[in-house]
Chain A
Amino acid sequence: MKRYLILEDGTVFPGDGFGSSIITTGQLVISNNRTGIEQSVTDPNTEGQIIAFTIPSVGNSGINRDFYESINSQCKGVVIGSSSASTVNNSISFEEWITSLKIPGIKNVDVRALSKHIAEHGEMKASIMDTHDEHAIDQIKALVLPPDLVKRVSTRQSYPNPNMGLKIVIVDLGLKYSILRQLSYRDCNSIIVNYNATIEEIKNLHPDGIIFSNGPGDPKDLPKTIERIQTLQKDYPILGIGLGSLLIALANDCQIIPLPQPHHESSLAVKEVASGKIDFVNHNHSYTLDQKYIGGSDFIVTNICVADGTIEGIRHEYLPIMGVLFEPEAAPGPTDGYYVFDEFIDLIESVKQQEGIRSQWN
């Protein structure tokens, strides 16, 4: 069935529909992920987004439900060039999978031209429809994307991911399961709480450290979370990932800016400023920190993106706070960034050690 991807600026990309036949509208994001379709579609960060995958022959590698990053799919639609009807491991095909998730998809789209258009004009709203006329474009323009994306994806109830090690409270802003997987590998006893959990609720859990997870949307839509960070950071080691790291920055007099060319790529190099070490990690963010404000804050830049110099990691000079804009849990992408979890655990351990010494003196 002929369908159309219509952009907010009126540009139309024709293609063939698959998956659900409903009309869908969302923020269009170009994903240069080499692999990891399952992860991307189920990543809570993609809430409210239509993802355009630029890889060729999507779905050859098969669909593996073990790679899900949340229980349900999150994105509002998928756009692809070519796909394969069969897979190497005889799993269901990509199109069958998308159909089973009831997501609308459009294929045989010139994703190269689409991604160039977005690179030139910036990210914008888009819709997958059966027709393309003035009325449709007006509808897209008029549609306001919901500002409560985090509320939609955050867990409603707290739940544990028990283990015998350090107790980590994770504030779920759009948590990917792979963060839990990494903490489990490190024996962490994690408790996942709603994004709106109060300071008292968190304190009552007696965490050794707190993680503000990645998530969708504009950080400025979460002023209360920023306030909570300002209080919690005085007492607990904190790791911010993606959206979490932007919130940490905003809580500490930094400013954020939208990236001229957003990072949605599963393997992009970041450099550790102190050592010069280069790691390839998954990026999925449209904002970064404004360099101008870093000097006046108490943060030092720990990582930068090698390709465009964007700030990718920060660390507080005096408090045990660290943040990374990239996704150290990978999923998808190279596993070079796993060390961030080790560093956070080291940070917690050193804080605990100091507290122990202090308590001996007192």
Chain B
Amino acid sequence: MELDDVHSILIIGPTSSDKNVDLSTALYDTVDILHQLGYKLSIIVENPTSLLSSGTFYDKTVVEKVTGDNVLKYVQKYHPDSILPTVGDRNALGIVSSLNGKIGETKILGPSFAASLATFKRELFIKKLTHANLPVIKFVSSDDEKEIYSFIRSIGFPIIARRRYSNRHSSGWTNINNLFELDNFMAMEDISDTKIEIERSIRGFSEYSFTILRDRYDNSSLVGTIEDIEPIGIHHLDSNLISPAVSLNDSKLQRLRNFSIKLARTFNIVGVCTVHFAYNHATNESYITEFIPRLSEETKFLEYATSYPVATAVAQLCLGYHLDKLQLDAGNYFNGATEPFVDHITSRFPQWSTNGQRYLGPSKTSNSSIVVNGFSLEEVLNKGALNDKLNNNFNRYNELRKLDDDELFEKIIHPTNWMLDVLSEAMRRNFEKPVLSEITGINMPYLTALQNIIDNSLIIREGEIDGSNVEHMVNMGVKGVGHSKLLLDSPDIVTKTVVKNKQAVSVANNDFINHNYFVTGGISNELQLSDRMKIIVRTPIITSKTDIMIRQFVLFQLAKSIDQNGLEPIIIGREPWNAPLSMRRKVVEIDDPHMEMKNLGLIKNDSVLNIIDLSKNLIETDDKRVFQFSAQELKNLKLTGGTSVRVMVVSDGENFLAPSVIYQAKRDGHLYEISSVNQFMTVEDRANISRLIKQELEDDSKVDIYNFELVKSNDHWLMTKKYRGMTNDIIRHELASSVHVIDTLVKLLLGNKIGDDLTLEKVFDNFDDKYLLTIDSKRYQLLDEEETKIELSKLRKNEN
């Protein structure tokens, strides 16, 4: 039975910090199912553009800094029945742990108060785990030298140590391997009020994470396991990740599974809990290093790896639903009591925005990630970490080749994000694998997989591909088409490179409908397409959180619109799109790391109506069906003024609509932007702007999206910028405009026309009732009509 006394839920939304991972899909899935189940939802969010929706699901959208104070204020004012912190990243747990005893009858759903607090307070974490007989690294925090030495005698070396100062700052961890180093450390600066913290060092242990779901009736299931290729000491999200954890045998897997379930029970976590482990395969020691009782990058990755709808399930579990009686959407039941079985490997390879080498350590430095699928370690490594198109591995290879052995050895000792390339080079020089494994903490199977790749790359380089090894090469994830002349000439290569479903065959998981595929080696092609005409959307690789958000948003709107217009959306990219669940069942997603789909001929050419290309770099193509969506700068005058507008325009080649205008002005040294000001514009402004746009579009005869920037100078509007395609403004335009730009575009691509002789009102038609005010591109406020008028009049006063 679900919780009877919960009808209204306040969701703690994401912050706009770049440090947090993008959980927009998880948030969308959460609110989608809760809305369908009839709950009244409100959300506190910093940047409403991260909602992927224009507020359909929400009774109230509060745009504020997501802090404990603001959550408390909301609770005191509206008294929601409950607070859901699972989609608000780490910040939400911090808020929850600060609310204890302050929110009266309002319930916290999901992680308990103790669980939230223990994710921040190391002492509490260790105390609770020790009490529950769960393995945790021994830790002492003391200013008493005797106690410290006695503790170290009990645990032995190596240890890590740091000084914790009275202002809560700390010195950072130091590795200490023997008594001599310890004495040196202890003899260093002696500031009063300093505590010394000592922990057993687990550097070099293998890292694993287990994610379990738990309902309030104490039923738990292991949704997935992840292992890090790099050992403890390198941040989990800077490591190359593999799911499922293929290096754990049954006894180890069950031990860690039981620990994970016991931990969730200890803290009475309902919903989801990801537990991180350090494992030493030589001694069979294992320790719990941390736990995450909320949706996270790990759950997002596992959702992709297993097709299990984690976010949708977690939302319902938090509200008291039984694990085996969950719903995909209202009335459509599925068995959540399953431990998904996958017959393939899914990997997550971190990405950095620059190509250079970076030293890796305990702090996260990567900006985004690439996710790939395959049936062997070699295949995922070839498609992901060693994919030249993603990482410039060939340049790395050339640089590393110039190093002498000592310099290369230095790179092995000090791990960088080039580690797999460094190890490959070392193996080319016949460094011994067991020694490399010992030094780097990277397990032997990965080094063997790298060795296999090196051996086979020699076959390619020396042109020794023939009928006997071509199949093997494709199975190993080598680019099937176009990698070398011989591969290209091989007549059966297309039948060897096929598209397979991400879902595995198992008694248990037939419920998880998905149309997600990946290009791989094999014989049987599993791609299933409907009879509908198709629009293919090609997606780009992205490396920043803002870009991820934009991609999520645009893809979602595009796919929705293509589907609603009776066509089949096919999303193809080098890496997968983490689509919201409702959309996942309607689109065909294909991960194609080597961009081979085009050559495979698996989608009939005459069934494709259009190809929408979201790549940032425009490509030359003769195919008239290709529509390049990304912004192409056509005009850029360096003219700045106090007041300007940015207009998004959709054109059918003859007429145009301008459904979204963003007004921008400076006041008191701050930049104010108000979205969707169409109906507040004067008739003269509309006429002038429309005239200028018309002039600009005179020579264009194709369906297109344009972005214009116009500056007001001495009461005259001047066109300063013109882009063809989409700019980063798209989310604000799309959310603000009640005439949805992307949907209009799809309709025009299908051959619909805007119509002649539109009045100015019709051109700028927009019937919004909420307006987004952005200050300095950082702070956001939602305004109603009256508030907007007031803001605009203040800003306009300034104009004069």
Q: Which A residues form the contact surface with B (CB < 8 A)?
A: 30, 32, 34-36, 38-39, 54-57, 60-62, 64, 67, 81-82, 84-90, 108, 110-113, 115-116, 119, 261, 263, 265-269, 271, 276-278, 280, 283, 305-308, 330-335
Contact = CB atoms under 8 A, between A and B. Distances in A.
A61 B335 contact: no
B500 A112 contact: yes
Contacts of B124: none
Nearest to A54: B343
Contacts of A111: 343
Contacts of A277: 217-219
A334 B377 contact: no
Contact of A263 (B247, B434, B507): B507
B222 A335 contact: no
A308 B206 CA distance: 37
Given A34-B341, A57-B345, A116-B505, A278 B324 contact: yes
16 contacts: A32-B341, A32-B506, A36-B249, A56-B342, A56-B345, A61-B252, A82-B378, A86-B447, A112-B375, A268-B339, A268-B507, A269-B324, A305-B507, A307-B335, A307-B508, A308-B507
B444 A90 contact: yes
Q: How large is the interface on B (under 10, 10 to 19, 20 to 34, 35 or more residues)?
A: 35 or more
Contacts of A30: 505
B522 A112 contact: yes
Nearest to A282: B250
A84 B445 contact: yes
Contact of A84 (B206, B448, B475): B448
Given A86-B448, A268-B507, A64 B249 contact: yes
B344 interface: yes
Contacts of A89: 281-282
B244 interface: yes
Contacts of A57: 246, 345, 376-377, 445
A240 B218 CA distance: 28
B154 interface: no
Contact of A67 (B248, B250, B379, B434): B250
Interface in B334-391: 335, 337-339, 341-345, 375-379
Contacts of A56: 246, 342-345, 375-376
Interface string B287-323: 0000000000000000000000000000000000011
A278 B254 contact: no
A113 B524 CA distance: 7
Contacts of B434: 90
Interface string B402-436: 00000000000000000000000000000001100
Contacts of B217: 276-277
User: Which of B218, B246, B247, B375 has the largest count of A CB atoms less than 10 A from its CB?
Assistant: B246
A108 B248 contact: no
Interface string B223-267: 000000000000000000000101111111110011000000000
B42 interface: no
A263 B472 CA distance: 32
A111 B505 CA distance: 10
Given A57-B376, A60-B445, A113-B523, A67 B341 contact: no
B651 interface: no
A334 B344 contact: no
B443 interface: yes
B535 to A, nearest CB: 29
Given A56-B376, A265-B341, A61 B219 contact: no
User: Which of A35, A56, A267 has the largest count of B CB atoms less than 10 A from its CB?
Assistant: A56
Contacts of B251: 64, 67
B215 to A, nearest CB: 8
B504 interface: yes
B337 A62 contact: no
Contacts of A86: 433, 444-445, 447-448
B497 interface: no
B6 interface: no
B523 to A, nearest CB: 5
User: Which of A38, A108, A266, A334 has the largest count of B CB atoms less than 10 A from its CB?
Assistant: A334
A251 B500 CA distance: 46
B22 to A, nearest CB: 28
B324 A271 contact: yes
Nearest to B345: A56
Interface of B: 206, 217-219, 221-222, 244, 246-254, 257-258, 281-282, 322-324, 335, 337-339, 341-345, 375-379, 433-434, 443-445, 447-449, 452, 472, 475, 500, 504-508, 510, 522-524
A110 B523 contact: yes
A306 B326 CA distance: 12
Given A86-B444, A88-B443, A110 B335 contact: no
Given A56-B246, A269-B337, 7 more contacts: A35-B253, A60-B246, A85-B452, A89-B281, A89-B282, A267-B339, A268-B339
Contact of B338 (A34, A90, A266, A307): A307
Contacts of A306: 324, 335, 337-338, 508
A265 B507 contact: yes
Contacts of B452: 85
Contacts of A88: 206, 247, 281, 443-445
Given A54-B343, A86-B445, A112-B500, A261 B507 contact: yes
Contacts of B206: 88
A278 B524 contact: no
Contacts of B378: 82
B101 to A, nearest CB: 33
B569 to A, nearest CB: 25
Nearest to B251: A67
Given A39-B250, A55-B343, A110-B524, A280 B335 contact: no
A306 B252 CA distance: 26
Contacts of B219: 277-278
A110 B324 contact: no
Contacts of B443: 60, 88
User: Which of B206, B249, B375, B376 has the largest count of A CB atoms less than 10 A from its CB?
Assistant: B249
Contacts of A308: 507
Contact of B337 (A32, A61, A278, A334): A278
A89 B434 CA distance: 11
Contacts of B472: 108
A81 B375 contact: yes
A328 to B, nearest CB: 14
Contacts of B324: 269, 271, 278, 306
Contacts of A84: 246, 377, 445, 448-449
Contacts of A331: 250
A67 B251 CA distance: 9
B343 A62 contact: no
A158 B732 CA distance: 78
Contacts of B254: 330, 332-335
A278 B339 contact: no
A85 B376 CA distance: 12
B339 A280 contact: yes
A330 B376 CA distance: 27
A9 to B, nearest CB: 16
User: Which of A85, A112, A261, A271 has the largest count of B CB atoms less than 10 A from its CB?
Assistant: A112
B772 to A, nearest CB: 45
B385 to A, nearest CB: 16
Contact of A112 (B250, B252, B253, B343): B343
A119 B378 CA distance: 28
B598 to A, nearest CB: 24
B338 A60 contact: no
A313 to B, nearest CB: 16
B375 to A, nearest CB: 5
A208 to B, nearest CB: 29
Contact of A60 (B218, B247, B250, B508): B247
A84 B376 CA distance: 9
B250 A87 contact: no
Contact of B250 (A36, A113, A278): A36
Contacts of A266: 250
